[in-house]
Structures are given as structure tokens and as C-alpha cells.
Structure 1
Amino acid sequence: MFKKIVLGTVSLLALFSLAACGQGSESKDTKNDIRTLTDAQDHKVEIPNKPKRIIASYLEDYLVALDEKPVAQWTVGEGKIQNYLQDKLKDIPTINYDLPYEDVLKFEPDLLLIGSNGSLEGGKYKEYAKIAPTYVVKNGDNVTWRDQLEDIGKVLAKEDKAKEVEKDYDQLVKKTKTDLKDKIEGKSAVVLWVTNNAAFMVADNRSSGQLLYQELGFEVPKLTKDISKKATADFSQVSLESLSQLDADYIFLVNSDSGAEMFKDPLWSNIPAVKNNQLFEFDGESSWLYNGPIAYTKMVESIQTVLK
């Protein structure tokens, strides 16, 4: 009898021990709801798993591509938003691009994603980090939208989704190059942006320039090559006199100033691509001025439409 009692007691103790181990594991899992990642400025950031209230000013393209919605979206002043994303973000309130502390607090974020080092000047990082975990995404001249997508995918534990987005985009580019082979091979193209009666040309390795020349395979006009050597931003101002010598087969025009006086100038109307009706116009609400997988996808689709 005594032996049975001892055995029974040992069995109960073993059960209690297993239960305790189970509770300890569960507690550990709760702690693992936070991952520590190192951002582009070497901050060690405690990232919550499955954040619910994200602010990612000017990075909304990436969130939407990864099936996430921010709690607030980028704007400049009144009404200047990324219109090409509004089928997914139409009900999302805006927050000014410079992320005022009071406004950030109001939205009670559980994660802040910052897209450029320059936006953190003046000790802003410490202030933001007091509000929510703040992660600086890869950025800089040599950082592509793919680099940023993969970095954000890592932060959100959606690396597989990021790879899927890139794969879908690559397939679209490949199909476009095949379908439009006779319209692309041996043809040169340029992207111009007109705003406030001034023209700006995209550099050959930035934004839509990288898409045209590196991915789709259009040839680079001489003027674009010259502009690109000194480019410090995606778009560089170019004079109408220079444009009159533009040797591009196609012009993709992002027109933010449809009433610009320059369009009435003979120099403009004598640009070869304009004379040959090979100018394709998009309004300032299109995706051509932005970066990200959705922006680039829409650019490729628009090229398909006008050149088919």
C-alpha cells in the first residue's frame, strides 16, 4: 500500500511538473511576441509581432503591397496624397509628411517606419522612440524599392509575401518586354515631369529611369545621360532649349501643369517625339512620381496601354 501511495504521489508531482513546464513555455512565447531587429541607423528596435497601428509615412506603397494598412497616410499640406493608392487607402486619415509629434501621438501607433535618414534630423528619433518602436528602413541613393520592400517585409515577418510581390512584378516586366519587343528594342525613351512651367527629367538610374532603362531595356537618350551625371535627385531640371534637341523616340510626360506656357512655345512643338505624336501624357496623380512595387507595376501597365 505504501508503495502505491509513493508511486501515486510521484505521478502527481510529475504531472504538476509538466504543467509548470507548459506554463513556462507559454510565458516565454508571450515574451517572443517582440523581436529585436537592427535598423538602417543601427538602432536595436523591439518590434511587436503583428503590429496593428502602423505609421509609415511615404512608405504606404510597401504596406499595401504586403496586405497591410497604415493607421494614417502621408500628405503634404492640404489634399496632396498618393492618389494611385486610394483604392486601398481611401478611408485612411492623413498625417503631414514631417510627422509632427502631437499628430503621431494622436494616432497611438504601435510601430513607426521611417523612410529616410534626413527626416530624423534634430534629435527626432529619440522623440519618436518614446511614442512607439521606431525602425529606420534602408534608404539612400543606392537603395532600390526592392531593398526597401524586403526590409519592411522582414520587419513585418512577411518575407515570403515580399518575394511573391517581386516575382509577380518580374513576370509582368518579362511579359511586357516580350509583348512590346518591336516597340522597345532599339528605341529610346525619356520621362519628363512638368510643374510650375518648368520641366524636369528623370535620371537614368533612379525611379522610373531605372525601370525604363535597366528593366525594360529602352535606350538612354544623350540628354538623359548628361543630366544623370550630375543628378542629386530622381528628377533634374532641364531647359526648354535643351529639350528641343532631345533625341528620344518616346516621351512619357507627367503633367502637373497642363496650362504651362512652355507647351505653347515652338521649341516644345518642334521636339521630335512631340512632332511625331510619340508623347504620352499622364496626370500628376499617377504613380510616375513615386517609388514602390505598386507604383512601378502601374507604370509598366501604363506603358503597355500607350504602346500596345
Structure 2
Amino acid sequence: MRKLLILFAFVSFTLFLAACGGNDSEEETTNESGDQESSEETEDNSESEGNGDSYVVEHAMGETEIEGQPEDIVILTNHGTEALLELGITPVGAVESWTGDPWYDHIEDDMEGVNVVGLENDISLESIAELDPDLIIGNKMRQEDQYESLSQIAPTVFEETLRGDWKVNFELIAEAVGMPEKGQEVLDNYNQKVDQLSDDLEANDKLDTEVSIVRFMAGDVRIYHKDSFSGIIIDEVGLARPEAQDVDDFAAQNVTKERIDEMDGDAIFYFTYETGDGEASTVEEEWIEDPLWNNLEAVQNDNAYKVSDTIWNTAGGVRAAKLMLEDLEEHLLN
């Protein structure tokens, strides 16, 4: 009996110590979470994981404060979708690609599970709200009228324009999602590709090639100048442009066959915006079968190349830009 009493007392004392230890641990945790030093330590850890404090982004519509690292992002431009994918982000919602079902071929594999929220020029506020995003990224030229409504759903950042250098919008998107350093890595990688192509062209005496850019559409034929998606990339590489196209604006639109000589160059890259009804393809066929087209020097020298409208114009993003560089390498060097 005496031994049992001693054993009972020992066990009781051990349980008492364990209980005290558990209370002490819980109290320390509570104190740390409310202590300034502990709070700063927690914030530092969050920042190292990309979940830092709020930050303010200046954009076309003013300033927007964003809390922590956005995770559920809705993107309202085609080029913006490419930007997010290159940053390693899959959006919860995105506008449908201008061509594709519903995405461009060159991004389709990475868009599984992404919800369609309309078109760039016809977004669905209801669809966006249902996704409960913590960040919306759009464009003033496309969705200015919906900005206030979008801002009621989630913090919203808008680009200023769709034309000009695509890298300007890319940098804003990288800033908006709290990943400017990753964004710079993507741009550095692209710039390296530009420099390499430029060096290869120069080594093969091809850098002075005058590149012409032509687009066929239903009801419109265009010659693209330097302030266009493809025009800027051509200029970055250092390739020359025909005199009629060496202009610092967007494009010559509604071109008639009386101006077909402006399409000539050492090489012609042409593309067609086909929506599925066949009308644009009919326009293309009418032009490239015309004797005036076939009298162009580039055509006679077999230097007229049909390329993807998506890659050379419509997508307008970083992935398309890199694929366009591959087209230039294939046709001008290989």
C-alpha cells in the first residue's frame, strides 16, 4: 500500500508539471503574437514568402492600395494573361482570347481551370464578382467605364494604353502583383534573345534587311509602322524598314491597291485576322493573287512569309514577342 501511495503521488506530480508546462507554452505564444518585436518578426517572414505588407501602385486611374500578395487575380487583357503566365501565375479569371476556344493555342496548355469573364471590350462584372478576386488588372482604353464598378469588387489597377511598347504594361502588371524582381528577370531573358538575334543577323549580313509588315482583315488592309507591336520588336532587333513604313506612328489603314508598292521590302511578313467566317481569308487571297502583289520584289524573290496574326499582332504579350523572334530567325537566317 505504501508503494502504491508513493507511485500515485509521483504520477500526480508529473501530470501537474506537464500541465504547467503546457500553460506556459500557450501563454508565450499569445504574448509573442501581441508583442511588437514578435509582430515585426512575423511580418519579415511573410515578406520573405511574398506575403508582405500593403503597397500602393500608381496607374492610369490613380493609385490603388493592395494588401499582401494577391493570389486570386482576374486579368482583363490578352497580353496581361501572357504576363501573368510568364510570372508563374495562373489567373482565376481572364478575358477570352480574340481567337481560339477560348484561349490562343500558344497559351492553352497553361489555362486549364481558368474562368472566362467575357471579352476585353465586353467584360462580365457578374462573372468577375463571383470569383471573389483580391486583384483585378485591366486597361483604360478597354474598360474605363467599368473601373468604378470593378473597384467595388476588388483593388483594381489599369494600364493607360494598348499601343506602343508592350514592356510598359508588363512592368505595371509585375508591380501590381508584387513581383517586380521576377518581372525584371523575364524582361532580361527577352532582351537577351533580342540581342542574340541581332548579333546573328549582323554576323550573316542580314541586319540591314528592310522588313515590311502587312495585315489583312475583313474590310481593312493595313501596313504596320514602327509604333505597333511587331514594329517595335523589329526596331529592337535593329532591322531596317522600307522608307514608307519607317514612320513613328501605328499604321496605314484602309490601304488600297494603288498603294501596294508601300508593302514592298527585302522581306514581307503578312498575317490575317480570321474570326472564323472566312471573310478575312478571302481578302488575303484576293491580294496575294493580284498581279500587283506578285510584282513586288520581295514576292518575286520568295521572301514573302505568311505568319500568325496572333503572334505578330493580336496577342500582344511577352510570349508572343518571344515567338515572333523565332519567326524572324527562321525566315531571315534559316
The interval holding the TM-score normalised by the smaller chain is 0.7 to 0.9
Which one of the candidate residues 278, 282, 286 is aligned to 1:259? Answer: 282
2:259 to 238, 242, 263: 242
Q: In 2, distance between residues paired with 1:194 and 1:37?
A: 42
Q: CA RMSD in A?
A: 3.1
Structure 2 residue aligned with 1:301? 326
Mean Cα deviation higher: 18-27 or 243-252: 18-27
Deviation at 1:138, TM superposition (A): 4.8
- Letter of the aligned partner of 2:123 in structure 1? L
Q: Is the 8 A contact 2:268 2:298 kept in 1?
A: yes
Q: Name the SS for the 1:277 alignment partner.
A: coil
Aligned position for 1:5? none
Q: Select the structure of larger CA radius of gyration.
A: 2
Give the aligned partner of residue 83 of structure 2: 62
The answer to whether the Cα contact below 8 Å between 1:177 and 1:184 also exists between their aligned partners in 2 is no
Q: Matches of 2:239 and 2:172 in 1, distance apart?
A: 29
Cα contact 2:141–2:162 (8 A) shared by 1? no
SS in 2 for 1:84: coil
SS at match of 1:215: helix
- Percent of aligned positions that are identical: 21
1:103 aligned onto 2:127: yes
- Distance in 1 of aligned mates of 2:219 and 2:60: 39
Say if 2:208 is the partner of 1:186.
yes
Please say which of residues 239-248 and 125-134 is displaced more in the overlay.
239-248
CA distance in 1, matches of 2:251, 2:37: 54
Query: Deviations 1:65-109 (Å, cap 9, x if unpaired)?
Result: 111111122225984643332232254232222322112112222
Distance 1:269 1:129, change over 3 A: same
For the Cα contact (< 8 Å) 2:165–2:232, is it kept in 1? Answer: no
Q: Tell me by how many angstroms 1:252 deviates.
A: 0.8
Higher mean Cα deviation, 292-301 or 216-225?
216-225
| TM-score normalised by length of structure 2 | 0.75
Q: Which runs of 5+ in 2 are unaligned?
A: 1-27, 274-279
Aligned partner of 2:135: which letter? L
Q: How does 1:102-141 map to 2 (within 5 A)?
A: 102-115=126-139, 117-122=140-145, 124-139=146-161
Q: 8 Å contact 2:54–2:68 — kept in the other structure?
A: yes
Q: In structure 2, do the counterparts of structure 1 residues 169 and 105 end up closer, same or farther at CA, with 3 Å as the change threshold?
A: same
1:249-288 superposed matches below 5 A: 249-256=266-273, 257-260=280-283, 261-288=286-313
Aligned to 1:37: 56
TM-score (norm 1): 0.81
How many residue pairs get matched? 287
Counterpart among 39, 60, 66 of residue 25 in structure 1: 39
Structure 1 gaps of 5+ residues are: 1-14
How far is 1:222 from its partner? 1.9
Deviations 1:194-249 (A, max 9, x none): 1226421212132110111x211121212213xx46x4x46733222212354410
User: Aligned in 2, Cα 1:158/1:17: closer, same or farther, shift over 3 Å?
Assistant: closer
Tell me the distance in 1 between the aligned counterparts of 2:294 and 2:191: 36
Determine the C-alpha separation between the residues in 2 that align with 1:234 and 1:104.
34
